[in-house]
Amino acid sequence: MDIADFFDTFFEEAEELLADMEQHLLELNVDNPDIEQLNAIFRAAHSIKGGAGTFGFSVLQKTTHILENLLDHARKGELVLRAELVDTFLEAKDIMHEQLDAYRNEEAPNQEAYERICQVLQQIALEEIGQTLDAPVEAAAPAPVVQAEEPAKASAGQNQLIVALLNVVEKERTLLVEELEQLGDVQSQSGDEKCYEVILSGDVSADDIEAVMCFIIEPEQIEIRVASGAPATAQEEAKSTPPPAPVTPEPATPEPEAARPPAEAKKAPDSSTKSKKAAAESSSIRVSVDKVDQIINLVGELIITQSMLDQTVSDLDDQSVGNSSLQNGMSLLQRNARDLQEAVMSIRMIPMEFVFSRFPRVVRDTAGKLGKEIELVTEGKSTELDKSLVERITDPLTHLVRNSLDHGIEMPDKREALGKPRMGKLVLSARHQGGNILIEVRDDGAGMDRERLLTKARENGLSVSDTMSDEDVYQLIFAPGFSTAEAVTDVSGRGVGMDVVKRNIQGMGGRVEIQSKKGEGTNTRIVLPLTLAILDGMSIKVGGETFILPLSTVLESLQPTKDEMYAMAGDDVVLKVRDEYLPVIAVHEVLDVENAITDPTQSIAVIVQGEGRRYAMLVDELVGQQQVVVKNLEDNYRKVPGISAATILGDGSVALILDITGLHRLSRVKKEASKVINNQPISLYKEAEPS
């Protein structure tokens, strides 16, 4: 394991800890804070500080350190929490997150933000607890010092500590002693496996020793005492009394600190993550997505093999006794294989909670800025969605939520005047519906004004008519540059974004619907496929070949008649469908399929929509709907014009998934080319120059 992996582990963990911290801060009831929650926030800060210190991220470490001290006062009841303080803590958390990102990108963290937040936090310490902190950058908060702890603090500069290692096997002990040697001078060491004592002198705090040791052994296995005899009580106090010189020497000597982590990292491979995690969450492991995808592939193969076997068995003459037990075995195998497939697919699924958990913050901040009172309700947090979709849904959803808060929900006074409760309600919900997931952003605000939307649309030069359905009118808000907000606010109203929202969602194979009632609220519904890896497809046959059309592009199918087909200049043909002339794409021509039906009136026209345009595709036969697993063609081959991907059918053969717009483009290119070179069949691939 190299040092980079180690950093990554820290970054990931720190990110989780920060998220935890934020969640707890948001849930915190300022009037009657839950001590457990305060403890949890404190622990998160403490862990980040420890890690940051170990890896030499001194700015992050110092920021966390100040915050940690304040939190420590808070959990001891010495700091009375107020909403503004929580806001400040949240801000500090944001800055820590930025610092973390900066370190991750190997950049220097923003010094200005760092200094400012330190200032603010220290101000709080001064005002709320009546204590000054030391030098602003030195950044150590003086804990309310109990007499007994005094020696530990006073002698922190050059003290002697007795580090007792309990129940540590010899191999680990050697490692630990090496670690200690790096931290300070080891004066003496003695003892046995049960209790091994190391006397350490140097400019080092109990905190640091513990932080380093935790990579190798459990915290319970370490006991640190001050050598002078004054018991430094347990670690808990040691933690809360940071020495005046902030943890370890790194402000003064950054280089040795920087040089240290690699050594530690190499000595304590995996075990660091393991031992640290073991306490907190031993119930999950990190696995790379590649591995999961590989398993999914293999299981898919298993299913195909199983259905092939099944076919063979059912073809057998089933009179004999042996066959019936074979068939029983087969049905058992089938059930197990399906269960296995489902279980494996669920590995990629993560609950919507990952998305929803950021919204309390978004809502709080936005509502604060707008001066509105909002209650956020989330439903269906445990609804599961493919990981890649979860990552991509967050931004569009944030936009919709902001929009609801800004345009939807009215100001408290206005709501009161309308006879609504002062506090607006915003509901985020997620649930399964068929093979899709349905995500709703529902508010009880003003709702959409059909007339105003139409007026605005006319002003923007969009073609609208008074007879449009409500649904179509509401969809106008997704037009580029469309905004009905009376004032452009910081939050929204610039008209940029809603079109992006729609595009993003369509890019995920989903769609947005709006339901609204004036005066009662708006419900924005996002319908998404459960996973990008699976597509709802319509299988069609042309000649003997099977192709898949994405079901979301299919509008209808019909049998064309001679009268409805019109030839245009050149070879182009259009099909008239209810006053609309649709370009015809004959699949067998575009894809050179042999033995296909060439007479349009004998074939089936599938009306499809791609990138906003409609086409009539001529195919031989509609086979049926099925879910298919999407496979990339470019992994081992190349991009194929008119084909978006491939899939594997139940019989193990490959079927190509058609790309509507690509197919149309291809048909144009082919027609052009055939005109130019006298109907010679052409290759669409560049002929290679003999080199």
Partner 1 sequence: MSQANNEAVLAADEAENREFLVFSLGEEEYAIDILKVQEIRGYENVTRIANAPDFIKGVTNLRGVIVPIVDLRIKFHLDNVEYGGQTVVIVVNVADRVVGIVVDGVSDVMTLNPEQIKPAPEFGVTLSSDFLSGLGSLDDRMLVLVDIDKLLTSEEMALVDSTSNR
Binding residues for partner 1, rule: CB under 8 A, are 297-298, 300-301, 304, 545, 590-593, 631-643, 646, 648, 651-656, 666, 683-686, 688, 690-691
Joined together, the tokens standing for residue 164 give: 């007792």
In sequence order, the 6+-apart residues with CB closer than 8 A to the CB of 459 are none
Distance CA 103, CA 59 (A): 10
Residue 430 or 533 having the CB closest to partner 1: 533
Q: Which is nearer to partner 1, 612 or 690 (CB)?
A: 690
Q: What is d(CA 180, CA 209) in angstroms, rounded to the nearest whole number?
A: 7
- By beta-carbon proximity to partner 1, the closer residue of 374 and 540 is 540
3-class SS letters over 226-276 = ECCCCCCCCHHHHHHCCCCCCCCCCCCCHHHHHHHHHHHHHHCCCHHHHHH
Burial class (CB in 10 A: 0-12, 13-18, 19+), 486: exposed
Q: Please say whether the beta carbons of 647 and 629 come within 8 A.
A: yes
- Show the DSSP H helices in 611-682 as ranges: 660-676
Q: Which residues of 145-259 form beta strands (DSSP E)?
A: 159-166, 185-191, 195-202, 222-226
Decide whether 434 or 681 has the Cβ nearer to partner 1. 681
In angstroms, the CA 388 to CA 392 distance is 6
Q: What is each CA distance from 411 to 281, 371, 402, 417, in whole angstroms?
A: 43, 7, 14, 10
User: To the nearest whole angstrom, how small is the minimum distance from the Cβ of residue 89 to partner 1?
Assistant: 48
- Taking the least distance from each CB to partner 1, the nearer of 256 and 652 is 652
Query: Taking the complex as a whole, how short is the minimal distance between the CB of residue 654 and partner 1, in angstroms?
Result: 4
Q: How far is the CB of 470 from partner 1 (least distance, A)?
A: 43
Question: What is the C-alpha separation between 688 and 126, in angstroms, rounded?
Answer: 76
Three-state DSSP class for 101? helix
Q: Are 409 and 493 in contact (CB under 8 A)?
A: no
Q: How many CA atoms lie within 13 A of 450 on its CB side?
A: 13
Residue 202 structure tokens: 């140097």
CB atoms within 10 A of CB 630: 18
User: Which residue lies nearer to partner 1 by CB, 104 or 631?
Assistant: 631
For partner 1, the closer CB: 263 or 654 = 654
For residue 628, the minimal CB distance to partner 1 (Å) is 12
Shortest Å, Cβ 348 to partner 1: 15
The nearer residue to partner 1, 109 or 300, going by C-beta atoms, is 300
59 vs 593, beta carbon nearer partner 1:
593
> CB of 593: closest distance to partner 1 in angstroms?
7
Of 110 and 341, the one with the shorter C-beta distance to partner 1 is 341
Residues ≥6 apart with Cβ < 8 Å to 324: 318
Residue number, 259 or 308, with CB nearest to partner 1: 308
Number of H helices, E strands in the chain: 22, 22
CB closer to partner 1 out of 81 and 593: 593
Our CB check for partner 1 shows the closer of 18 and 666 to be 666
Which one, 171 or 637, has the nearer CB to partner 1? 637
Q: How far is the CB of 300 from partner 1 (least distance, A)?
A: 5
Instruction: Provide the CB-side half-sphere exposure for 655 (13 A, CA).
Output: 27
Minimum distance from CB of 545 to partner 1 (Å)?
7
* Whole-number Å distance between alpha carbons of 343 and 87: 42
Question: Tokens 């808990």 — which residue?
Answer: 236
Residue 168 makes CB contacts below 8 A (sequence gap 6+) with: 176, 193, 196, 217, 221
Q: For 314-353, what is the HEC assignment?
A: HHCCCCCHHHHHHHHHHHHHHHHHHHHHHHHHHHCEEECH
Q: State in angstroms the smallest separation of the CB of 608 from partner 1.
A: 18
CA distance 255 to 392: 40
Q: Considering the complex, what minimum distance in angstroms separates the CB of residue 674 from partner 1?
A: 12
Shortest Cβ distance from residue 311 to partner 1 (Å)?
A: 14
The minimum distance between CB 597 and partner 1, in angstroms, equals 17
State in angstroms the smallest separation of the CB of 604 from partner 1: 20
For the bound state, the minimum distance from the C-beta of residue 660 to partner 1, rounded and expressed in Å, comes to: 15
> Distance (Å, rounded) from C-alpha 235 to C-alpha 220?
9
Listed in sequence order, the residues at least 6 apart from 491 whose beta carbon sits closer than 8 Å to its beta carbon are 366, 369, 370, 402, 405, 406
With residue 100 as reference, give the H or E element that holds it: helix 83-104
